[in-house]
Amino acid sequence: MLYTLVPTPKISVIHHDSTGSLSQLPTIFFNKMLAQLNISILIQHAILTSTFVAIPLIFHRLEISMSAQSMVALPLIILAFAMSILMIMMAEVRRKIKHIFIACVFILLLSEIGCWLTEDVVSGLVFFLFLFFAAFCTLEALLPSMVSKVAPAGLRGTAMGLYATNQFLGIFIGGLLAGWLAQYYAVSVIFLANGFLLLFWLLIAVLMKAPRYLTTYIFPLSFPYPTREQCLTILGVVDAAVCTDEGVIYLKIDKDICDVSTLQSRLAEKFSIER
């Protein structure tokens, strides 16, 4: 598909906003909201991995065949994906992203406690797994969107790099923790341990500020270049990054305050920026 369908660009341009920067890593690492989101994705994937360690072991104990497990899992994932689309639309279109975020973490907590309480009841496990998949799929889409909204102008690539690192670190921690608990304790203890992790995550979600709905735009520059402080004086501009080596400016704007055409006119009037 890559060779036959994806076109080769005539001009390839690499922007700082889409690449990582080691020099800016401390800025991203110590950003409070990004740190909260990084902890969130770490816990989410730790719980995903540990749950997928526990469920097959329980199904095997209940003498559910591999083919029967597939017949259970596929409809669950399809239904959960459909529900997650509705929840994502509510979060983005109606701007309820923090409410949906908190609700999904709570649903994950409910599903893990439910699996712990109904480990020997197939119908109970299936129901709580459905809740788990629905909440997980929703968060899998919302969290990167929140990182993109929170990341400083021009540093989205660095923010997403650290986010992805925590995502895979969570997978490692979840597998390690679940394997240790399954070996030395009961398999059901994995769900209980996940519940404590989710209580901690729920506290983070409740305390976290709701991200602003900002849009990033890139505009070409010509000398003399404006400063970041000058850009922030423009109504509607929330954050800015001036990249003189690229000859562009990254602006994060609030479209409720200023639309793109108005912003371009204001930039053209104040600086050497093309309309």
Both 125 and 85 in one domain: the answer is yes
256 class by beta-carbon count within 10 Å (0-12 exposed, 13-18 middle, 19+ buried): exposed
What's the confidence (pLDDT) of residue 275? 43
- Look at residue 140 and tell me whether its pLDDT is greater than 50: yes
Structural domain contains residue 201? yes
Q: Are residues 149 and 171 in the same domain?
A: yes
Most confident range, picked from 119-123, 145-149, 170-174, 264-268:
170-174
Residues 157 and 224 in one domain: no
Looking at 183, 207, 231, which one is the last position of a domain? 207
Task: Report which of residues 220 and 44 the model is more confident about.
Answer: 44
Asked if the structure places residue 41 within a domain, the reply is yes
Do the domain assignments include residue 10? no
How many CA atoms are closer than 13 Å to the CA of 160, on its beta-carbon side?
15
Least confident of 12-16, 109-113, 118-122, 128-132: 12-16
Q: Residue 112: exposed, middle, or buried by beta-carbon count in 10 A (0-12, 13-18, 19+)? A: buried
Query: How far is the first Cα of the chain from the last one, in angstroms, to the nearest whole number?
Result: 37
pLDDT at 87: 92
Question: Is a pLDDT exceeding 90 seen at residue 42?
Answer: yes
CA 244, CA 62: separation in Å to the nearest integer? 64
Q: What is the pLDDT of residues 55-111, one digit of tens each?
A: 988 888 888 888 788 888 888 889 999 999 999 998 888 889 999 999 999 999 999
As given in the structure block, the two tokens for residue 170 are 């969570």
Instruction: Note whether 156 and 239 are same-domain residues.
Output: no
Sign of CA dihedral 111, 116, 117, 119: positive
> Are 185 and 266 in a shared domain?
no
> Kind and range of the H or E element at 129?
helix 122-150
AA identity, residue 183: Q
Q: Which range, of 129-138, 211-220, 263-272, averages the lowest pLDDT?
A: 263-272
Average pLDDT of the chain, as a whole number: 88
- 246 and 184 in a single domain? The answer is no
Q: Are residues 62 and 83 in the same domain?
A: yes
Domain count, the chain: 2
Domain hosting 88: range is 17-207
**In the listed set 167, 188, 207, which residue is the last one of a domain according to the structure?**
207
Residues 203 and 222 in one domain: no
pTM of the model: 0.87
Same domain, 70 and 175: yes
pLDDT at residue 23 greater than cutoff 90: no
In this prediction, residue 233 carries a pLDDT of 83
Token digits for 250? 């990254």
pLDDT digit string (tens) for 172-215?
Answer: 999 999 999 999 998 989 999 999 999 999 999 999 998 888 88
Domain end call among 191, 207, 223: 207
Res 244: pLDDT: 77
State how far the Cα of 157 lies from the Cα of 163, in Å rounded to an integer: 10
- Report the alpha-carbon distance of residue 105 to residue 201 in Å, rounded: 7
Q: Which residue has better confidence, 217 or 129?
A: 129
Lowest mean pLDDT among 34-48, 123-137, 149-163, 210-224: 210-224
CA 121 – CA 259 distance, rounded (Å): 55
For residues 134 and 251, state if they share a domain: no
Tens digits of residue pLDDT in 228-253: 888 888 888 888 888 877 778 888 88
CATH of the domain at 79: 1.20.1250.20
The verdict on residue 99 lying in a domain is yes
- What is the percent of the chain where pLDDT is above 70? 96
pLDDT at 217 over 80: yes
Residue 272 in tokens = 């050497």
